[in-house]
Amino acid sequence: MMTTDPERLFASLPTLDPEANARLHARLVAAAERDGILDVAYRTIDTPVGPLLLAATEQGLFRVAYAREDHDAVLARLASVVSPRILHAPGRLDEVSRQFEEYFDRRRRTFDVPLDFRLSRGFRREVLAHLPEIGYGHTSSYAEVAAAAGSPRAVRAVGTACATNPLPVVVPCHRVVRSDGSFGGYVGGPDAKRALLTLEAAA
């Protein structure tokens, strides 16, 4: 009976070369971009509110996700509802990343990047379209946002739109608070909402 030493077996396998893998990945991304088959590019960035996942189509940024949302789960959902042709391709998101850095350094008050709102529809999209009108360093209540969106009684729907906002920070749902001034919910969690409002108030 022939036996095989597992350590000798694994030792015979080729050594992983991170640089070679990186070059191969870069060629794959370049080829996908060239052939028009890179539907979704993504990257992660480190921020004061934790790592954020950024994802963009050719039309623009369409997803920003907090770590508490589970980045792997977010990517899997994007692959199933948008396109399976999704790659870690940081280059497409260089400008977005730069603007995030400027925002957290208090050198930017608004984001100026193309946005793809395909993940929001109907009244939720109307709410998101209004949110950038809430000035940096200011807040509005859910009731005020509902009125501004043309449906004064849709306070709960505004809360749902904010809770499902696919573009937090860039589309500033963190500036929407309860009528009594308390924070209310937030997709990134209460600590992230507090951090963003504190950052803007201090600028």
Instruction: Indicate which residues carry an active-site annotation.
Output: 173
Long-range contacts of 67-71 (CB under 8 A, 24+ apart): 68/188, 68/189, 69/187, 71/44
Which DSSP letter does residue 174 get? G
Name the H helices within 48-141: 71-81, 94-104, 122-130
Q: Cα separation of 116 and 164, whole Å? A: 15
The CA-atom distances, in angstroms, between 74 and each of 71, 82, 95, 174 are 5, 11, 22, 20
